[in-house]
């Protein structure tokens, strides 16, 4: 994608000339986050952004930080975090505001999930809306710095740097773009804080949580990029406007990354509670029958494709099926793919993404991946399924971050949804579909490299090396 | 019931296994030698053993924390 855009002319940037809530922002209509974004091409420049959204109102704070109007509005809006945790953003803002010391705002746009690209798309197409949100939150909290953490593998860093330069110093908030090393757990919030504090981008043992002690041990508001873009909309239009879309528990609109056998796999903005059917229709319909739906990414869960017409995309509506939207990943798996081979690949990748810091994760995930690979290859013992479940119980909730929990959740859901295929592979070995290329999105080169490394590590361990030496031997 | 509970820092833990020997009532080892710690509040009778288990950890990974009223 190219990033050509014209430098803005100061006279067209006069804030007085612009309406606060221009026409496209009708309460019950979409798009919101992607308003004015061209179907193909470049980021929404500052001028165009202001034309579409109007200027960001700046309420003066009277009294204490926690009494700022924006915090009350965000609380009333019911906005929940968009990084996967769905934590109420208003409560987070209030928690940061209640701490002593000048807070720091951190935008998490690192997006380590390979099945998701919504934060990248948001940063590349609507960088100013996200930056507005960071600035509005900074004003409300009395913060003077906002740091955007963005993954090294995306071109969003350049777009954001240009967008930040375009804004100049008008915000009275210093915006810094920080490039985060690629990696699944690097986008985990404690890992991002560790990286911004000059350490490796690896999860740390909590507490303290970021709102208590984050960047430079200051109270830190750390939220997902899309969360900030929503804060920018709430700052402009208020809580009632925000709640005109979505469900009571999950108001508003959200970005979802739809992949699989549809005519136009892409990032879509939907209202919470939209049916999966409607999303698929928006993407031009199905190209093949769907065996399963992966919801929430590789820390999420598989649901049987037979449920496809029953599913509505909100956490409350997915909860009875044991699923949630997570960071908005909807990956369809067609009947052309072998679900066992797909699961084995994902298991291997998740194992390789362990930071290797916590024993139960660094031993347990490779053991899980190994057990699943044995089933897929038809060389497993009879009780292999039970072994996978037992490993799941051992590994779950024993890491410093939730990486092992997410991996276990996904693999157990695969075992359940693909029970028939798993027992077929256990008995007869690979099927003809096993040879078909991978359908679920994984970084291909990383998988190959990671698996050879983790296999070597496993081999080194079985030769009697300790964990540390096994790791050193295969570096 | 005391108001203390055991917390494990899984990053610091290197599977030395002393804790499981000193407090088998609350700590067992998994198949790789890493402790599985029961984080329910400790009965007063076990508090002394828990203290010794935490103190014996060579990497200070086992922490005895006073409950701060969290559920």
pLDDT digits (tens, 9 = 90+) for A256-273: 999 999 999 999 999 999
Residue of B nearest to A399 (CA): B10
| Residues B10, A400: C-beta atoms closer than 8 Å | yes
Give the model's confidence band at A460: pLDDT under 50 very low, under 70 low, under 90 confident, else very high.
Answer: very low
| Residues A398, B10: C-beta atoms closer than 8 Å | yes
Q: Answer whether A359's CB lies under 8 Å from B15's CB.
A: yes
Is residue B10 included in any domain, yes or no? Answer: yes
How far B46 CA lies from chain A's nearest CA (Å)? 23
Could you give the CA distance from residue A376 to residue A427 in angstroms, rounded to a whole number? 10
| Residues A359, B31: C-beta atoms closer than 8 Å | no
Residue of B nearest to A206 (CA): B9
Residue A356 pLDDT exceeds 90: yes
Residue A470 pLDDT exceeds 90: no
Mean pLDDT over A117-124 rounds to 94
Could you give the CA distance from residue A17 to residue A11 in angstroms, rounded to a whole number? 10
pLDDT digits (tens, 9 = 90+) for A419-429: 999 999 999 99
What pLDDT was estimated at residue A382?
Answer: 87
Q: Answer whether B64's CB lies under 8 Å from B50's CB.
A: yes
For the record, the structure tokens of A356 come out as 């290797």
Least confident of A10-24, A365-379, A435-449: A10-24
Of A193, A227, A270, nearest in space to A88 by CA: A227
Using a 10 angstrom Cβ sphere, with 0-12 exposed, 13-18 middle and 19 or more buried, the burial of residue A423 is middle
Q: What is the CATH number of the domain that holds B58?
A: 3.30.70.20
Question: Across chain A, which distance is largest between two alpha carbons, in Å?
Answer: 75
What pLDDT was estimated at residue A2?
Answer: 32
Give the model's confidence band at B69: pLDDT under 50 very low, under 70 low, under 90 confident, else very high.
Answer: low
Of A188, A199, A206, A178, nearest in space to A105 by CA: A178
Could you give the CA distance from residue A179 to residue A185 in angstroms, rounded to a whole number? 15
pLDDT digits (tens, 9 = 90+) for A297-333: 999 999 999 999 999 999 999 999 999 999 999 999 9
For the record, the structure tokens of A6 come out as 């014209």
Is residue B70 included in any domain, yes or no? Answer: yes
Q: What is the pTM of this model?
A: 0.88
- In this structure, what DSSP letter does residue A160 have? H
Is residue B41 included in any domain, yes or no? Answer: no
Mean pLDDT over A36-46 rounds to 84
ω before A64 within 30° of 0 (cis)?
no
Is residue B22 included in any domain, yes or no? Answer: yes
Residue A468 pLDDT exceeds 60: no
What pLDDT was estimated at residue A67?
Answer: 78
Percent of chain A with pLDDT over 70: 87
Mean pLDDT over A284-295 rounds to 98
pLDDT digits (tens, 9 = 90+) for A384-423: 999 999 999 999 999 999 999 999 999 999 999 999 999 9
| Residues A394, B30: C-beta atoms closer than 8 Å | yes
Give the model's confidence band at B68: pLDDT under 50 very low, under 70 low, under 90 confident, else very high.
Answer: low
What pLDDT was estimated at residue A87?
Answer: 96
Give the model's confidence band at A469: pLDDT under 50 very low, under 70 low, under 90 confident, else very high.
Answer: very low
Residue A474 pLDDT exceeds 70: no
ω before A31 within 30° of 0 (cis)?
yes
Domains of chain A: 10-243 (3.40.50.11540), 253-334 (3.10.20.600), 339-473 (1.20.1440.230)
Which of chain B's residues have a Cβ under 8 Å away from the Cβ of A207? Answer: none
Residue B15 forms contact with A (CB below 8 Å): yes
Residue B11 forms contact with A (CB below 8 Å): yes
- Which domain covers residue B11, as residue numbers? 1-35+51-71
ω before A207 within 30° of 0 (cis)?
yes
For the record, the structure tokens of B54 come out as 């935490």
Mean pLDDT over B32-58 rounds to 96
What pLDDT was estimated at residue A445?
Answer: 54
Is residue B44 included in any domain, yes or no? Answer: no
Of B41, B37, B36, B43, nearest in space to B66 by CA: B41
pLDDT digits (tens, 9 = 90+) for A170-197: 889 999 999 999 888 888 999 999 999 9
What pLDDT was estimated at residue A25?
Answer: 56
- The mean pLDDT of chain B is 93
Among left, alpha and beta (phi > 0; psi -120 to 50; other), residue A391 is alpha
For the record, the structure tokens of A204 come out as 């740390």
Could you give the CA distance from residue A343 to residue A64 in angstroms, rounded to a whole number? 51
| Residues A400, B36: C-beta atoms closer than 8 Å | no
Residue A342 pLDDT exceeds 50: yes
Give the model's confidence band at A61: pLDDT under 50 very low, under 70 low, under 90 confident, else very high.
Answer: low
Mean pLDDT over A286-300 rounds to 97
Number of domains within chain B: 1
Of A193, A210, A191, nearest in space to A201 by CA: A191
- The mean pLDDT of chain A is 88
For the record, the structure tokens of B34 come out as 């890493």
Is residue B42 included in any domain, yes or no? Answer: no
Q: For A464, what's the count of Cα atoms within 13 Å in the CB-facing half-sphere? A: 0
Is residue B64 included in any domain, yes or no? Answer: yes
Q: Answer whether B13's CB lies under 8 Å from A358's CB.
A: yes
Is residue B57 included in any domain, yes or no? Answer: yes
What pLDDT was estimated at residue A155?
Answer: 84
Which of chain A's residues have a Cβ under 8 Å away from the Cβ of B30? Answer: 359-360, 394
What pLDDT was estimated at residue A332?
Answer: 98
């Amino acid at each position: 994608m190219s990033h050509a855009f014209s430098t803005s002319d100061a006279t067209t940037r006069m804030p007085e000339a612009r309406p606060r809530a221009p026409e496209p922002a009708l309460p019950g209509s979409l798009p919101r986050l992607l308003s004015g974004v061209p179907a193909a091409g470049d980021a929404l420049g500052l001028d165009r952004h202001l034309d579409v959204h109007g200027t960001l109102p700046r309420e003066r704070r009277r009294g204490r930080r926690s009494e700022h109007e924006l915090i009350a509005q965000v609380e009333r809006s019911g906005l929940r975090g968009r990084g996967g945790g769905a934590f109420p953003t208003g409560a987070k803002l209030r928690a940061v505001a209640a701490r002593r010391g000048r807070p720091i705002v951190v935008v998490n746009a690192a997006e380590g999930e390979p099945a998701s690209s919504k934060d990248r798309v948001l940063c590349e197409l609507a960088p100013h809306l996200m930056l507005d949100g960071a600035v509005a939150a900074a004003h409300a909290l009395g913060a003077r710095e906002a740091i955007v953490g963005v993954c090294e593998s995306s071109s969003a860093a350049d777009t954001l740097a240009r967008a930040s330069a375009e804004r100049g110093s008008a915000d009275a908030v210093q915006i810094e773009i920080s490039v985060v090393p690629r990696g699944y757990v690097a986008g985990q919030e404690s890992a991002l804080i560790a990286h911004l504090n000059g350490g490796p981008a690896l999860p740390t043992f909590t507490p303290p949580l970021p709102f208590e002690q984050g960047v430079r041990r200051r109270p830190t508001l750390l939220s997902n990029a899309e969360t900030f873009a929503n804060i920018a909309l709430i700052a402009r239009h208020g809580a009632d406007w925000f709640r005109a879309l979505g469900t009571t528990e999950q108001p508003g609109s959200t970005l979802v990354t739809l992949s699989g056998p549809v005519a136009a796999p892409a990032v879509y903005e939907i209202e919470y509670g939209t049916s999966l059917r409607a999303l698929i229709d928006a993407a031009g319909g199905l190209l093949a029958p769907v065996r399963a739906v992966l919801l929430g990414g590789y820390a999420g869960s598989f649901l049987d494709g037979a449920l496809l017409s029953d599913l509505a995309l909100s956490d409350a509506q997915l909860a009875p099926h044991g699923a949630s939207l997570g960071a908005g990943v909807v990956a369809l798996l067609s009947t052309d793919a072998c679900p066992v081979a797909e699961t084995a690949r994902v298991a291997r990748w998740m194992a390789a993404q362990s930071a290797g810091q916590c024993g139960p994760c660094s031993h347990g995930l490779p053991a899980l991946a190994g057990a699943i690979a044995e089933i897929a290859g038809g060389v497993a013992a009879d009780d292999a399924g039970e072994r996978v479940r037992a490993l799941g119980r051992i590994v779950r909730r024993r890491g410093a971050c939730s990486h092992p929990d997410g991996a276990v959740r996904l693999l157990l859901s695969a075992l359940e949804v693909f029970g028939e295929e798993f027992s077929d592979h256990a008995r007869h070995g690979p099927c003809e579909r096993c040879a078909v290329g991978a359908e679920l999105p994984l970084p291909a080169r990383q998988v190959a490299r990671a698996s050879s490394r983790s296999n070597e590590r496993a081999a080194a361990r079985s030769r009697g090396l300790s964990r540390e030496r096994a790791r050193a031997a295969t570096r | 019931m005391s108001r203390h509970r055991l917390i494990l820092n899984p990053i610091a833990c290197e599977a030395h296994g002393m804790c499981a020997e000193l407090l088998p009532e609350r700590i067992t080892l998994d198949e790789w030698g890493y402790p599985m710690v029961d984080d329910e509040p400790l009965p007063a009778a076990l508090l002394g053993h828990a203290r010794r288990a935490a103190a014996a950890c060579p990497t200070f990974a086992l922490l005895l924390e006073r409950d701060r009223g969290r559920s």
